[in-house]
Structure 1
Amino acid sequence: MLLSDGESDPASSSDDVQSPVRVRLRNKKISTEDINKRLSLPADIRLPDDYLEKFNLIGPALFEQPISRRLRRVSLSEIGFGKLETYIKLDKLGEGTYATVYKGRSKLTENLVALKEIRLEHEEGAPCTAIREVSLLKDLKHANIVTLHDIIHTQKSLTLVFEYLDKDLKQYLDDCGNTIHVHNVKLFLFQLLRGLSYCHRRKVLHRDLKPQNLLINERGELKLADFGLARAKSIPTKTYSNEVVTLWYRPPDILLGSTDYSTHIDMWGVGCIFYEMATGRPLFPGSTVEEELHFIFKLLGTPTEQSWPGISSNEEFVTCNYPQYRAERLSNHTPRLSSEGVELLSKFLQFEGKKRISADESMNHCYFSNLGNRVRSLPDTTSIFSLPEIQLEKETKKPTFYLSKII
């Protein structure tokens, strides 16, 4: 049998000599740290008073063998996970079609949390967006992706317990008078790309990137949130719905009806968000699909067979009969961006999905060279602000941190 530190348990000899590892475990008093490690719990968890005492009675024997999924589930339930009474509701943050979000506090850690309460209809059960969000988020562990702490299932609702962040990028922009410090624009963009790169390596497409779905805390950490429209991309390619991505951040190939896409669907949205952070205004604020495409072509030029092969046979494009615009210089619209920043922006805003730069490639672009090399080799779960050379600059107008939005 293999013990917890990987040593084999040798058979007892005739004079009954026991394994030193087993003796050590039996004599050792189980600590909170031991339990946290055993059950993969956060370090700041506060175990119920009677739980540690109970664990010490059964603990040593338990630590001699791999923990089963059932035993782990029972242990987590005894601590208080998966129970509504473990969390205190403080304020209502917002309401959507399926869910209401509350600011709350965990009795286990005393930390603030966001409680996303999804109403369950008896006939329909949990909305597919909720099932999708849960199944994806429980496997995504990254410093730039919002953490799902707990899931509480009752007859009437499904409550997702998230880490609490102070605000979203839209609120941050508003608080800065729509003028984010150019260095902070770079830090936010890098973190967005870092989180996306992690998702894309795992074949997960977010499909709904917008400032409201990027959460920011006081430290300046940016995290991807709201994976309700996200999905894992299967291989070989399947066709997906083109009714994804909020209109202003939706790429032209999707606007024109494409349902065959990959990770590049997210990269157009990154470009739109980059522009919005740098200028303080949305790039393509169309109210209809036709108007959205009109804004895109007015800036980037109306596509031709040379700039977008196959476009002349797209029925929706031909039917609308767009004026023949010539491409404008992006630098004329982004005075605060360096030439490297403008070049990176242009690599995001490519008509054809396959021509857009990937999240992984973007992080190595010269625009980020002044952040240094160490920022690219951090472990997935480590914040970029763990490096002393990475610091958020003070905004001219001091942000007032208030309630975040997770819907």
Structure 2
Amino acid sequence: MENVQKSAMDAFEKLEKVGEGTYGKVYRARDKATGKIVALKKTRLHEDDEGVPPTTLREVSLLRMLSRDPHVVRLIDVKQGLSKEGKTVLYLVFEYMDTDLKKFIRSFRQTGEFLPPQVVKSLMFQLCKGVAFCHGHGVLHRDLKPHNLLMDPKTLQLKIADLGLARAFTVPIKKYTHEILTLWYRAPEVLMGATHYSTGVDMWSVACIFAELVTKQALFPGDSELQQLLHIFRLLGTPNEELWPGVSKLPNWHEYPQWNPKKVSSMVPNLDENGLDLLTKMLAYEPAKRISAKKAMEHPYFDGLEKDLL
């Protein structure tokens, strides 16, 4: 096995560590054969696994399939190796992209300018298109946030990354642990302990990203699960059985402070009427009532966009 480890790592020159994903370290690296810059994601497998478990192989082939879409980061190659302790490690080789949406928004915060409405529209359309592709193939992302949306600042092309957490959801949807998502983009049903959830969790995250593109500020910046819910309730009203049938049956349901719903425009004042309509449809409390990514792409907000070029 020694030579596999060597060849996996000899093929690349590590340039620097660019991040720490949930499942391992990410490096910027150069492919020695082609000179191309790639992102190398090193993932360790569970301690008790002998070799590569079939679930991981399924995930990898799923990632490969999804990365055919122009709005999903391309998985170029997978190499298997051994760690110093003799454990199996996988190296996922992805295309490298220079920046992400978090950095892009921050650059506008620093200059004091807002993102041009056409840029917001184009990025949102690409995001909906990428999400629609994943959902169409039975995959939830479950951790969409600006940091996971890579982009090319010159062409403004956006690609979804970190699909490593995606599990194909089959019907009936399996139980998930709900400890993975970043709080700010986390859907209320997840915060309330729902264990069966679906595409609506991603659409909630898309809504939060939409608002942030427009205002340059997080829509619901909670620092604990409770605070996160209260941020949501202050804008959308405290949910009840009328607003959201079944809400009081969720595991983490409590008696919460009562707020009346406010207009979404109070938090996102510089968004046009069509944009506000789309954002509101994405922020429906009842997960099944949230607009789907595919439907969102047909919303009048995107009229006038050269969709074929995106």
Which residue pairs with 2:43 in the alignment? 118
Between stretches 326-335 and 95-104, larger displacement belongs to 95-104
Amino acid at match of 2:282: F
Change (3 A) 1:180 1:298: same
| Matched pairs, number | 293
- Alpha-carbon distance in structure 2 between the residues aligned to 1:180 and 1:266: 23
Query: Is this contact kept in 1: 2:79–2:91, CA < 8 A?
Result: yes
Deviations 1:236-275 (A, max 9, x none): 3333333342111111111111111221111000000101
Partner of 1:87: 12
Runs of 4+ deviating beyond 6 Å: 125-130
CA–CA separation in structure 2 for the residues paired with 1:120 and 1:229: 13
Aligned to 2:195: 259
Query: Is 1:330 the equivalent of 2:264?
Result: yes
Q: Tell me which residue corresponds to 2:3.
A: none
| Matching residue within 132, 147, 159 for 2:74 | 147
1:91-136, CA deviations, whole angstroms, 9 ceiling, x for partnerless residues?
2212356422221222343321111123457645669996675242
Whole-angstrom distance in 2 between the partners of 1:354 and 1:246: 22
- Is 1:299 matched up with 2:235? yes
Match of 1:199 in 2: 134
**Residue type of the partner of 1:291?**
Q
**Of 63, 70, 95, which residue of structure 2 is paired with 1:137?**
63
User: Cα distance 1:177–1:127, how it changes in 2: closer, same or farther (>3 A)?
Assistant: farther
Contact persistence 2:13–2:30 (CA under 8 A): yes
**What is residue 63 of structure 1 aligned with on the other side?**
none
- Separation (CA, whole Å) in 1 of partners of 2:47 and 2:241: 52
CA contact (8 A) 1:136 1:227 kept: no
Deviation at 1:305, TM superposition (A): 2.1
Instruction: Indicate which of 205, 210, 214 corresponds to 1:274.
Output: 210
Task: State the shift of 1:309 in Å.
Answer: 1.6
SS of 1:138's equivalent in the other structure is helix
Aligned to 1:346: 280
Gaps of 5+ in 2: 1-6, 84-88
Instruction: Say which SS state the counterpart of residue 371 (structure 1) adopts.
Output: coil
Q: Which has the higher strand share?
A: 2
Counterpart-to-counterpart distance in 2, 1:259 and 1:313? 12
Equivalent AA in structure 2 for residue 216 of structure 1: M
Say which is worse superposed, 132-141 or 158-167, in terms of deviation: 132-141
> Is residue 166 of structure 2 the alignment partner of residue 230 of structure 1?
yes
Residue number in structure 2 paired with 1:62:
none
The corresponding residue for 1:173 is: 105
Contact 1:129 1:228 in 2 (8 A): no
Structure 2 match to 1:184: 119
Q: Distance in 2 between matches of 1:98 and 1:249?
A: 20
Q: Secondary structure at the match of 2:72?
A: coil
Counterpart CA distance in 2 for 1:291 and 1:239 is 25
User: Cα RMSD between the aligned structures?
Assistant: 2.3
| Matched residue SS, 2:135 | helix
Aligned to 2:86: none
Larger Rg: 1
Say whether the 8 Å CA contact 2:41–2:92 is kept in structure 1: yes
Give the 3 Å change call, closer, same or farther, for CA 314–88 of structure 1 in structure 2: closer
**Residues 151 and 255 of structure 1: CA distance in aligned 2, closer, same or farther (over 3 Å):** same
Identity of aligned residues (%): 45
After TM superposition, give the deviation of residue 311 of structure 1 in Å: 2.6
Q: Secondary structure at the match of 2:165?
A: coil
Relative to 1, partners in 2 of residues 1:225 and 1:307: Cα closer, same or farther, differing over 3 Å? Answer: same
CA deviation vs aligned residue, 1:359-391 (integer Å, no higher than 9, x gap): 00000000000114xx2xx5xxxx61xxxxxxx
Q: Distance in 2 between matches of 1:142 and 1:90?
A: 27
TM-score by length of 2: 0.87
Deviations 1:189-220 (A, max 9, x none): 11111101111111111111111110011321
Question: What aligned pairs does 1:48-59 form with structure 2 within 5 A after superposition?
Answer: none
The alpha-carbon distance between structure 1 residues 349 and 100, as it changes in their structure 2 partners (threshold 3 A), is: same
Q: Is the 8 A contact 1:133 1:226 kept in 2?
A: no
